[in-house]
Structure 1
Amino acid sequence: MRSIGDLATFMLSSQFQARLRIAADASAQEATTGLAKDTARHLGGSPMAVSLLDRKSELLEQHKRGIAEAGLFASAMQSVLGKIQDQTGQLGTSLSLVSQLQQPSELKTLSDAAAATMIDTVNALNSEIAGRYLFSGSGTRARPLPNGESLLAMLRSQIAGATNPGDAIAAVEAWFDAPGGPFESLAYSGSETGFAQLPIGPDQAVTLGLRADGETVRDMLKALGIAALASDASLGFGVVDQKTLLDEGRIALLQVDSSITEERAGLGLIEARIDTARLAAESDLSRIALDRMSLAGVDQFKAASEFEAAQQQLEVFYRIAARQGRVSLAEYLR
């Protein structure tokens, strides 16, 4: 059983050991980070300035997350448009050979290629990032279009019964362009009024102004649809009429290519704004970190020296405690 004197000595030793450990841990942290562990004490009990800097830093980190999201969204849109433009460009090159072809099988191959490109294009326009669709305007939770096969089937039913290329082209254009028509009422499911707006700063936002029901997209899908349906069995057109539709699709694709280029250029400007906002946020965070260091910073060499001193004191304390323990055990066994 410990005497009161022994118990008091033990408690004092434990408190001394705890203080040394706390001092060593604090000095180690300060030597590593260069910042005072106890900010309030370091600033004489007035840490308000550091608290304000920390709050600004938290807000900037939130803005950085918003900027990163906007950058990801814009980059994904740019990638989709680039893929679509590459595919439609390759199709246009293939369609330029129409005038040299005479066999129905050759024309069908081109028409099938147009159908495949249209299906891929529609499916690309349905791309999403983390459950948010890229080309649905402000209604990012709604898929803008049915899948490519379904949309092509809907369009095919629209032109059934056309007796000449002019009627088929007019039917396709009416399906896409008529106000409140099939494309708007049956195909497109995104927002009809707004565009996706993503914040990139306290009072800044970027607007991604391309939707799947926009003029550029409709013109592109019309061109693809005309070429895709040229050899449709329900129409039963001959070689001359098929070539007319394929050539009409080619001309329309050439015209819409410049519109896609303009859309991508506009998107590139938005990407530049996002990048500028990101650099500004990172610059502000660096400045805040320097300001915080000037307020709460410590001499890291001094902190390292204090850590070494605390460590040495702990080692001495442990040696003395161990020696006392052995003496006490010997006395007890005697």
Structure 2
Amino acid sequence: MSSISLGDMAQSVYLRRQNTELKTEMSRLTSELSSGQVQDVIKHLGGDLNYLTDVERSLHLNSVFAASATEAVGFSGAMQASLEKVQHSISDLGGNILSLGANSGEYAASHLSEKGRNVIEGLVATLNTSVAGRALFSGSATDSAALASADDILADLRSALAGQTTLAGVEAVMDGWFGASGGFEAVGYTGGLSDMSAFHLGDGERIDLKIKGDDEVFRATLKSAAMAALSYDPALALSNGTRVEMLGRAGELSLGAVDSLTTARATLGYAEARIEEASVRLTAQNTSLEIARSELISADPYDTIVKLEETQFRLESLYTATVKLSQLSLVGFLR
């Protein structure tokens, strides 16, 4: 009956433990060589993780601000494109009206009136634009449209204008409808009362895109287009003279609307420039923080290769010793 001495068992356990430790070390060094980062960060930094924690916290905040800046770029860009579209449409309508000759005839005038209706439909569609499921011009109510349909707006205006026969009367009613507490606020604007939430671009830095569908610039634009659209509306039964006056007044109002839109676009352009500056700054900060983090936890490739070769040699030596020890026997020892 064969037996194994206590010394042999202890030696076997020792060799297995050494084998496991060396394989673990090989795996760690191989991982560090491929990733370029140390696995045991605490040991590498001598137990002081304060600076690394601060860097990683800054990286997290930077990523949050960068995401907000990216969102702000998308929103402000879409707003600028919408304002440009609105300005172009009302400018085109006003230019056509003001270039209408005195002898152009009723057909040409009624055609421009119909164009005014088309402009309102386009304005409503543009101001009801949304980005990533959020309405652009609805203020805080980003889940709802900014304006009611063109049909609803014109229907309420038509009802309010019933019985008016002069330009002065028509304009007074329209001023009231588009003014404070008027029909526009009750029927036309369907967005929120407060502004959209600000976009945070850094510690203490934020950008507000305070443009809503009930802003004065849009009221003035819609008013000029509505004046044109309703000038030849058969339901109002206006005299030909009043129709001509309304259409001409619509052309004049469009000039003021275009100027207001230019100012609004310039203000938005300033906000876009600030957002772009913040985006560039955040990108640079992220790069610096990534470099700082890498320097803290990076593994020296040369040192890692040397240790890897040394560990591999030790493991091979252990295998050689294990093989030789396994070949020992009492008979061989006594020879």
| TM norm. shorter chain > 0.5 | yes
Kindly indicate whether the alpha-carbon contact (under 8 Å) linking 1:220 and 1:253 is maintained by their aligned counterparts in 2: yes
By how many angstroms is 1:193 displaced? 4.7
For 1:119 and 1:148, the matched residues in 2 are separated by 5
Which residue of 74, 77, 83 corresponds with 2:76? 74
What stretches of structure 1 of length at least 5 have no aligned partner?
325-334
By how many angstroms is 1:9 displaced? 5.6
For 2:18 and 2:81, the matched residues in 1 are separated by 64
Kindly indicate whether the alpha-carbon contact (under 8 Å) linking 2:83 and 2:265 is maintained by their aligned counterparts in 1: yes
By how many angstroms is 1:306 displaced? 5.0
Partner of 1:171: 173
Instruction: Please show how residues 1-334 of structure 1 align to structure 2 within 5 Å.
Output: 16=19, 19-20=22-23, 22-99=24-101, 102-177=104-179, 179-194=180-195, 196-304=197-305
By how many angstroms is 1:71 displaced? 2.0
Change (3 A) 1:18 1:96: farther
Number of aligned residue pairs: give it. 317
The normalised TM-score by structure 1 is 0.82
- How big is the alpha-carbon RMSD for the aligned residues of Structure 1 and Structure 2? 3.2
By how many angstroms is 1:216 displaced? 0.8
For 2:268 and 2:183, the matched residues in 1 are separated by 29
1:208 match: secondary structure: coil
Kindly indicate whether the alpha-carbon contact (under 8 Å) linking 1:135 and 1:210 is maintained by their aligned counterparts in 2: yes
By how many angstroms is 1:53 displaced? 1.1
Change (3 A) 1:15 1:100: farther
Q: Which amino acid aligns with 1:126?
A: N
Kindly indicate whether the alpha-carbon contact (under 8 Å) linking 2:152 and 2:188 is maintained by their aligned counterparts in 1: no
By how many angstroms is 1:214 displaced? 1.2
Deviations 1:286-322 (A, max 9, x none): 22222223322222244356557777988x69x99xx
For 2:133 and 2:47, the matched residues in 1 are separated by 48
Deviates more, 1:187-196 or 1:32-41: 187-196
Q: Which amino acid aligns with 2:297?
A: A
Kindly indicate whether the alpha-carbon contact (under 8 Å) linking 2:98 and 2:252 is maintained by their aligned counterparts in 1: no
For 2:309 and 2:89, the matched residues in 1 are separated by 67
2:198 match: secondary structure: strand
1:199 match: secondary structure: strand
Aligned-pair identity (%):
27
By how many angstroms is 1:228 displaced? 0.9
The normalised TM-score by structure 2 is 0.82
Kindly indicate whether the alpha-carbon contact (under 8 Å) linking 1:115 and 1:225 is maintained by their aligned counterparts in 2: yes
1:98 match: secondary structure: coil
By how many angstroms is 1:238 displaced? 4.9
By how many angstroms is 1:254 displaced? 1.2
For 2:95 and 2:235, the matched residues in 1 are separated by 27
Kindly indicate whether the alpha-carbon contact (under 8 Å) linking 1:103 and 1:239 is maintained by their aligned counterparts in 2: no
Deviations 1:137-174 (A, max 9, x none): 33434432212332222222222332233322222222
Kindly indicate whether the alpha-carbon contact (under 8 Å) linking 1:31 and 1:301 is maintained by their aligned counterparts in 2: no
Change (3 A) 1:159 1:14: farther
What stretches of structure 2 of length at least 5 have no aligned partner?
325-335
Kindly indicate whether the alpha-carbon contact (under 8 Å) linking 2:158 and 2:236 is maintained by their aligned counterparts in 1: no
